[in-house]
Amino acid sequence: MKRKNYDFIICGGGASGMLLALHLLQDSFFEKHRILIIDKDSKTTNDRTWCFWEKEAGPLEHLVRYSWHQAKFQSAEIQQNLNLKPYTYKMIRGIDLYQYALPLLKDSKQIDWLEATISNLESDMNQTLVHTEKGTFASSRVFSSLYNPERVVHQKKYPVLQQHFVGWIVETENNCFDPEQITFMDFDVPQANATRFMYVLPFSPNKALLEDTFFSAKLLPKEDYEDAIRAYLKKIGAGRYTCLEKEAGSIPMTAYPFQQHNTSHLLHIGTAGGWTKASTGYTFQQTLRQTQRLVQFLKHNTPLHQFYKWDKFSFYDMLFLDVLEKHNTRGADLFTMMFRNNPIHRILRFLDNKTNFIEDLKIMRSFPLGWFLKALWKRLT
């Protein structure tokens, strides 16, 4: 029988919910706190692969399945071999995080894990109520990673693109991959009136994950992505191949201010909290950082909506998305300009929200000034 009141309730035990719970568990400050995690799913399938880059060993180093120090950027105009060092590009499989975290969370006396579907969250002056088919639960500090696409689609102020993709893990007859080098973006593929590239994570000379990826507004029928992967395998001389696993995703790319839905007693986290980098769809590293920051924040009993911090990168992302939406067929050109005119380390720092103002200017100088000035003017008027 679950209690009805908790110190913290985490709605959604995916990446952000699990990482938040793990950080809370590791911090003795919270050892007397009772935490409820609610997820509708048992988290037993490998439903996604997370990649991110960092310089040092991170807190989830033991879960890193593959890592690389070299990358390739390709478009019709340029091909660049990029040395990522001192950065390492790392890959964690969803299932490996779930299988590591679930026993720790479920065996902890502090935590109750409830498999249930949340139908509604209701915040008032003192608490947030979480309604499920298995009961209603209350806490003065509720964290929700339940992403509600309705909120972002029913507004016109901020364009909403998606990073949408289908990925196949394949084993090929021929050795057609360089296991030392990822393909960060290969734009030398039919653009289909959008921004489209192939992303390749090689595991061995004949095994890799290939993702046909778009930055655009409209999703495609599954066959279109799969045909593109088939065509790409043919182009690189894969020979016969077996598809071992599939994954698919659609990650919102928008500068929509998700923080407006936070209250003193309800904080949105993960993609639902706007932790996805709007211009790229990368979320995982930001989620690691934000959950660590959140655990420190929670020690001060401050109203939850005060957790949000504006930074200049949100503004850059907004302008970039305005431009990418308006010139969606020119995404390959935009990224080619960025990679041609900047060293990879500056690009990685910029995409990681770590550059200083001088570096920001250098990145911005790579792009057609007129497009960005028009976007800026539209935002200001």
Chain residues binding ligand FAD by CB under 6 A are: 12-17, 38-41, 48-52, 117-118, 145-146, 247, 249, 251, 270-272, 282-284, 287
Are 209 and 168 in contact, with CB atoms under 8 Å apart? yes
Tokens coding 157: 């102020």
CB of 54 or CB of 359, closer to ligand FAD: 54
Are 191 and 332 in contact, with CB atoms under 8 Å apart? yes
The count of residues in the chain is 381
CB of 194 or CB of 288, closer to ligand FAD: 288
For residues 169-203, b (16+ Cβ closer than 10 Å) or e, as one string?
Answer: bbebeeebbbbebbbbbbbbbebeebbbbbbbbbb
H or E stretch including 22?
A: helix 15-26
CB of 145 or CB of 181, closer to ligand FAD: 145
Shortest Cβ 331–ligand FAD spacing (Å): 18
CB of 50 or CB of 184, closer to ligand FAD: 50
Rounded Cα–Cα distance for residues 10 and 36 (Å): 6
Are 274 and 256 in contact, with CB atoms under 8 Å apart? yes
Instruction: Report cis status (omega within 30 of 0) of the bond before 86.
Output: yes
Which distant-in-sequence residues (6+ apart) come within 8 Å of 249 by Cβ? 48, 163, 164, 165, 167
Shortest Cβ 106–ligand FAD spacing (Å): 15
Shortest Cβ 15–ligand FAD spacing (Å): 3
Are 194 and 211 in contact, with CB atoms under 8 Å apart? no
Shortest Cβ 246–ligand FAD spacing (Å): 10
Shortest Cβ 52–ligand FAD spacing (Å): 5
CB of 84 or CB of 251, closer to ligand FAD: 251
Shortest Cβ 139–ligand FAD spacing (Å): 15
Shortest Cβ 138–ligand FAD spacing (Å): 17
Which residue's beta carbon is nearest to the bound ligand FAD?
A: 14
CB of 251 or CB of 324, closer to ligand FAD: 251
Q: Give SS3 for 143.
A: strand
The secondary structure of residue 276, as a DSSP letter, is S
CB of 91 or CB of 298, closer to ligand FAD: 91
